[in-house]
């Protein structure tokens, strides 16, 4: 059985400012860093075999914060580091598997815009916004990849709000509008 801890990245500067980030890298703000650190504390004793992240920086940054205690504990257990050793963010990022499959939705011309000013009706959206069908295809490909690449492993994957919703939609075989929105740094568990 493959166990997936599905995590949404911590709050970013653009989240707080209500700016549509889309597939821009993004960076955690102080709240987002604290959120990721809280997940790291809560999950410090959970066994995790593999850390996976979207290839967008805000997710990689969240994943690195969560992975740090696991990776540093592993170094100490194997006797490869003394008690004062620690990993840099770059060291940790090299140990995280990244994938574009769980990037945020491509919001096309909406990227960088103030969210409250955008039209709510998809009929009024630009043609270059990624479709839900395309996102659900990426979600299915992601779940298939995990099952093939990491059978019987425990995986922590950090993605984004809407792609995480698409992953759950595919997993539960339910429409996306029936999947509850994930808060920043929220963790959900899926058994694949």
Tens-digit pLDDT profile for residues 103-131: 999 999 999 999 999 999 999 999 999 99
Where is pLDDT greater, at 87 or 147?
A: 147
Per residue in 1-60, pLDDT (tens digit) is 999 999 999 999 999 999 999 999 999 999 999 999 999 999 999 999 999 999 999 999
* pLDDT at position 78 over 70: no
Active-site residue identified among 9, 70, 130, 160: 9
C-alpha–C-alpha distance, residues 183 and 92, integer Å: 24
Note the CATH number of domain 3-191: 3.40.50.1240
Q: Is the per-residue pLDDT at 166 higher than 50?
A: yes
What does the block give as tokens for 88?
């840099």
13 is in an annotated binding site: yes
Whether residue 47 lies in the annotated active site = no
> Does 75 score more than 60 pLDDT?
no
Helix (H, G, I), strand (E, B) or coil at 14: helix
Higher pLDDT, 100 or 82: 100
pLDDT the model gives residue 88: 84
Say if residue 27 carries a ligand binding annotation. Answer: no
Q: What percent of the chain has pLDDT over 90?
A: 86
Q: Does 84 have pLDDT greater than 60?
A: no
With H, G, I as helix, E, B as strand and everything else as coil, classify residue 84.
coil
pLDDT of residue 77: 45
Task: Establish whether 9 is a catalytic residue.
Answer: yes
Identified catalytic residue from 70, 104, 130, 160: 104
> Does 159 count as an annotated binding residue?
no
Please list the alpha-helical segments (H only) found in 44-189.
57-77, 89-93, 132-149, 161-172
Whether residue 73 is predicted with pLDDT greater than 90 in this model: the reply is no
At residue 74, does pLDDT exceed 80? no
Q: CB 162: neighbour CB atoms within 10 A?
A: 21
C-alpha distances in angstroms, 19 versus 110, 124, 144, 177? 9, 18, 32, 22
Order across the sheet with 97-99: list the strands: 97-99, 50-54, 154-159, 3-8, 187-191
Arithmetic mean of pLDDT, 159-179: 98
Residue 72 has a pLDDT of 82
pLDDT at 83 over 50: no
């Amino acid at each position: 059985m493959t166990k997936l801890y599905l995590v949404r990245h911590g709050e970013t500067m653009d989240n707080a400012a209500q700016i549509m980030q889309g597939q821009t890298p993004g960076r955690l703000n102080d709240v987002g860093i604290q959120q990721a650190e809280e997940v790291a504390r809560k999950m410090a004793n959970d066994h995790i075999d593999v850390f996976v992240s979207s290839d967008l920086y805000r997710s990689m940054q969240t994943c690195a914060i969560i992975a740090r205690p696991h990776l540093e504990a592993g170094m100490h257990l194997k006797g490869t580091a003394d008690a004062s050793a620690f990993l840099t963010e770059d060291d940790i990022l090299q140990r995280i598997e990244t994938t574009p499959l769980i990037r945020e939705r491509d919001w096309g011309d909406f990227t960088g815009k103030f969210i409250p000013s955008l039209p709510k009706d998809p009929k009024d959206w630009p043609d270059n916004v990624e479709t839900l069908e395309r996102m659900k295809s990426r979600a299915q490909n992601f779940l298939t990849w995990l099952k093939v690449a990491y059978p019987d492993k425990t995986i922590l994957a950090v993605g984004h709000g809407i792609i995480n919703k698409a992953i759950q939609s595919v997993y539960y075989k339910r429409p996306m509008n029936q999947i509850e929105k994930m808060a920043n740094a929220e963790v959900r568990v899926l058994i694949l």
